[in-house]
Structure 1
Amino acid sequence: MANTLLPVEDALAILLANARPVSGTEMLALPDADGRILAEDILARITQPPFSASAMDGYAVRAEDVETAGATLSVIGTVAAGQTPEQDVIPGTAIRIFTGAPVPPGADCVVIQEDTEKRGEHSILITEAAAKGAHIRPAGQDFRDGQLLLARGRLLDARSLSLAAAAGHGALPVCRQPRIALLATGDELVPPGQKPGPGQISASSGVALHSLARMNGAQTLDLGIARDDAADLRAAVDRARDWNADVLMTIGGASVGDRDLVGPTLQSIGMSLDFWKIAMRPGKPLMVGNLGDMKVLGLPGNPVSAFVCTLIFAEPLIRKLANLTPRNRLHQAVAAGPIEPNGPRRHYMRGRFTDRANGLVEPCESQDSSLIATLADADCLIVRPPGDEAIKAGDPLSVMMLARDAD
């Protein structure tokens, strides 16, 4: 298996077969729990609303006093939100009430202020009839104490966090995030922001991979750049282990060159190899294995290859570890023009929509796996099966969307 080109579907199945959601939980304040997975069922701690409340500004009255328009009622008091009614509504009377205020005892209806006219300082005329229960939010209309509100496994967002807050929770138990350690390798690399010297380039891939990992619910650790040296690689692996990383993702050095030391070095310290070399383009030299409890993904060094492999393999793995549902990036589109036949490997071609309304897509002009500007300009990957015949304008295409909200 290690020396054959494995189909993408088979490689992904092997990668995910033994992946299990990470264990462990933590309690986070509501603002910090945004985007996390709920670890336990959440029950309401209070009843909402805790009392029958007015839904409008108006007057709290007895419904039988306002069955028809024309009634005149004495206004005997006022109650606002946050206050407690000090009087009961008795026949022939009304209490001025504001939105959110508790409905006074004796009242079973609110007449909105637009349906009244003042008749002196303490009297109103009812100009529109109202029925029992009108404009009153009954106690417990939203939820009641002890009611199940949020089920374990829910992805927390603005709406669910607002519900938790309303239900009396200031913090929530959430699942631990997968820990993803990322290591760039190669003597030619310098950190982003540092001017490369002769023969050097900026280590750009790690930035994209950190973003993708975090976007899919992971916590990341930047292990920096390991030189083409076995001792340097082993030291980086030790840091990943000390951090209890669930996944070690290496960038570069996973091919078969004399200075591609990642595979041999990791195997020398106990990594079992699941597979290496995938029937895909870009990204053929993808290494997957296990180092104890830590999964290892050895990504190609070319930035586009590393990105595509992360999207196809690392994203599903991370989401499974993070208790997240799989992301569906695959959509149908239409070829805007002819595309040449494909070779023996599945090809993920950078593409752009020329007419989004009609789903028309064309490949970017160059597909060289080192061209980061082309990747940044693309909005999808055109997925070409192995041996795919030439495509004509108007033919259907499968594309992987690159946007953050690709689902």
Structure 2
Amino acid sequence: MPGLPHPHDPAAREDHEQHGTRQDGQQPTVQWAQWDEARRIAYGLPQPLPNILLPLAQCQDEVLAEAVTAEMPVPHYASAAADGWAVAGDGPWRIRVPQPTETDERLLLTLPPEKRMLPVVELTAGEATHVNTGDAVPFGTTAVLEAHRGHVVPADPTAQIPEDTEHGRKPEEGDTLEDATPAAPLVKNQDVRAVGEEIEQGDLLLRAGRKLNPVHLGLAASAGHDMLPVRRRPRVTVLLGFANVVEDGIPGPGEVRDSLSLQLPAVLHELGANVDQVRRVADGAQGTVSALTESPMGANSLLDARAEIVVTTGGTGHGEDDHVRQALEELDAHLIIDGVAQEPAHGVILAKLPEDGPVVLALPGSPLSAITGLLTVGHALIAGATGEGMPVTRRITAGQGLDPAGVTRIIPAYLQDGRVVPEPATGPAMLSGLAHADVLLVVPEDGMKPGQDMEVVPLPWRV
């Protein structure tokens, strides 16, 4: 297969610009797309997926698709904000206590303990009843008198009344409650949590676009929600090659320890996708063709058949190992992007399989190249599928200079004293720089000067 020109060869761009729409109505393949152009193309490729409803327990880290309002007020009943006495009107107050559900003690014992007493549900002026923090206050309550302010006067001071060893004498129906600190009169609704005090029914609870955290889920539950509308994650199948890969232990000469099977699914989830399968693919174009057209046998086959995005690694170069491009051409896939004019990850390919098949994001096989391509082109592709906005970049002042390289470089960098500084380990197979990085730094073809305003790509696990 004839190779493509070098990614920063001007002839490659001129050749692309001279071509219009293909005869089949599809846009021509963009060869060696600029890095920001590749992101825009990837973002506009998928149709946004429909939103879904998920139970609250499954909404952690999902993105809210629509604004959510309160189904009920919070609190939804008037309650005591302190231990003490619910009172109605001015004191002193006649004490009321819960009464037995049954007058016949034998019948009373047949009931569950929690149903043996009738609570006081209403107070009229001059009445009071004991409440604990969080208890519903009776209808007619004007305030809660804290326990230390209440002084109980027995209705019959001579009566022999049993003592409560923890709280002293038990109040009885008809006893009188007095305020021990009348110089500080009660105000209306003192120590009463009113209905809707925090949130009224219909109030805006959560705005669309929020990444849901545990507190959001608790708030939604407190306002009456069981499910929330979230953006649906695209389903992804990851296809990894076998060549010279060791999945555990210490690799031998000519072998490499597998890292992508661990990284790619985790990064894809951070970017908003769900990985249904990670599969090893037989080397060569035929192995890739089979993997893209045949679902495996067994329980996973249905999941695989429903993938909206397929991510592959390796085989995107222009040499003997160029099997991904060959497989895509055999399948009559539409190559949308064939190479990106950046280092690393210049071998990124973006294609669409025919008959409304999945989008294929083919990444280079070197670890840093693969992750860089995923964080740039892949992130934009996933954002387009979920209906989110284009992934944003930031501007940060350069902390040092870099010589021109003739090609855009996307390299790991860290922040120091408000400035961005490149990590030293930036080779396509190196992960140590990215492991310690805060951002990806976009270095243009003409290099970087200290103090220059630079574009950076935030890392999802550092946001």
TM-score grouping bracket, smaller chain normalisation: 0.7 to 0.9
Specify the alignment match of 1:312 in structure 2: 376
Correspondence for 1:368 among 427, 431, 449? 427
Task: Render the CA deviation track for 1:4-62: whole Å, top value 9, x for unaligned.
Answer: 4321122211112232222363x543212222345677665555434322222222123
Contact 1:74 1:124 in 2 (8 A): no
Correspondence for 1:184 among 240, 244, 268? 240
CA pair 3-30 structure 1, distance change in 2 beyond 3 A: closer
Aligned-residue offset at 1:350:
2.1
Aligned-residue offset at 1:84:
6.5
Aligned-residue offset at 1:213:
0.8
Task: Write out aligned runs for 1:90-101 (5 A).
Answer: 90-101=124-135
Task: Write out aligned runs for 1:190-269 (5 A).
Answer: 190=246, 192-193=247-248, 195-239=250-294, 242-269=304-331
Contact 1:379 1:403 in 2 (8 A): no
What secondary structure sits across from 1:9 in the alignment? helix
Aligned-residue offset at 1:119:
5.3
Correspondence for 1:5 among 29, 32, 39? 32
**Structure 1: which amino acid aligns with 2:343?**
R
Query: What do you get for the CA RMSD once the two structures are aligned?
Result: 3.2
Between Structure 1 and Structure 2, how many residues are aligned?
390
Distance in 2 (alpha carbons) for counterparts of 1:366 and 1:373: 6
Task: Render the CA deviation track for 1:115-164: whole Å, top value 9, x for unaligned.
Answer: 44555654332412111222223334455667775677664432332233
What secondary structure sits across from 1:277 in the alignment? strand
Correspondence for 1:77 among 91, 97, 100? 97
Farther off after superposition, 221-230 or 145-154:
145-154
CA pair 372-48 structure 1, distance change in 2 beyond 3 A: closer
Specify the alignment match of 2:445 in structure 1: 386
**Structure 2: which amino acid aligns with 1:162?**
G
Specify the alignment match of 2:179 in structure 1: 125
Specify the alignment match of 2:299 in structure 1: none
Query: Is the counterpart of residue 33 in structure 1 residue 84 in structure 2?
Result: no
Normalised TM-score (structure 1): 0.83
CA pair 251-23 structure 1, distance change in 2 beyond 3 A: same
CA pair 401-216 structure 1, distance change in 2 beyond 3 A: closer
Specify the alignment match of 1:68 in structure 2: none
Specify the alignment match of 2:459 in structure 1: 402
CA pair 289-97 structure 1, distance change in 2 beyond 3 A: same
Aligned-residue offset at 1:267:
1.4
Specify the alignment match of 2:164 in structure 1: none
Aligned-residue offset at 1:405:
4.1
Report the structure number with the largest CA radius of gyration: 2
Point out where structure 1 has 5 or more consecutive residues left out of the alignment.
Answer: 66-70
Aligned-residue offset at 1:342:
2.3
CA pair 280-87 structure 1, distance change in 2 beyond 3 A: closer
Query: Is the counterpart of residue 287 in structure 1 residue 349 in structure 2?
Result: yes
Contact 1:223 1:239 in 2 (8 A): no
Distance in 1 (alpha carbons) for counterparts of 2:440 and 2:263: 16
Contact 2:51 2:229 in 1 (8 A): no
Contact 2:240 2:281 in 1 (8 A): yes
What secondary structure sits across from 1:245 in the alignment? coil
CA pair 211-108 structure 1, distance change in 2 beyond 3 A: same
CA pair 307-266 structure 1, distance change in 2 beyond 3 A: same
**Structure 2: which amino acid aligns with 1:280?**
Q
Distance in 2 (alpha carbons) for counterparts of 1:167 and 1:305: 46
Distance in 1 (alpha carbons) for counterparts of 2:239 and 2:279: 6
Task: Render the CA deviation track for 1:295-334: whole Å, top value 9, x for unaligned.
Answer: 1111111111111111111112213322344544534244
CA pair 310-87 structure 1, distance change in 2 beyond 3 A: closer
Distance in 2 (alpha carbons) for counterparts of 1:173 and 1:383: 35
Contact 2:45 2:384 in 1 (8 A): no
CA pair 23-53 structure 1, distance change in 2 beyond 3 A: same
Distance in 1 (alpha carbons) for counterparts of 2:231 and 2:413: 36
CA pair 20-155 structure 1, distance change in 2 beyond 3 A: farther
Task: Write out aligned runs for 1:351-362 (5 A).
Answer: 351-353=413-415, 355=416, 358-362=417-421
What secondary structure sits across from 2:291 in the alignment? helix
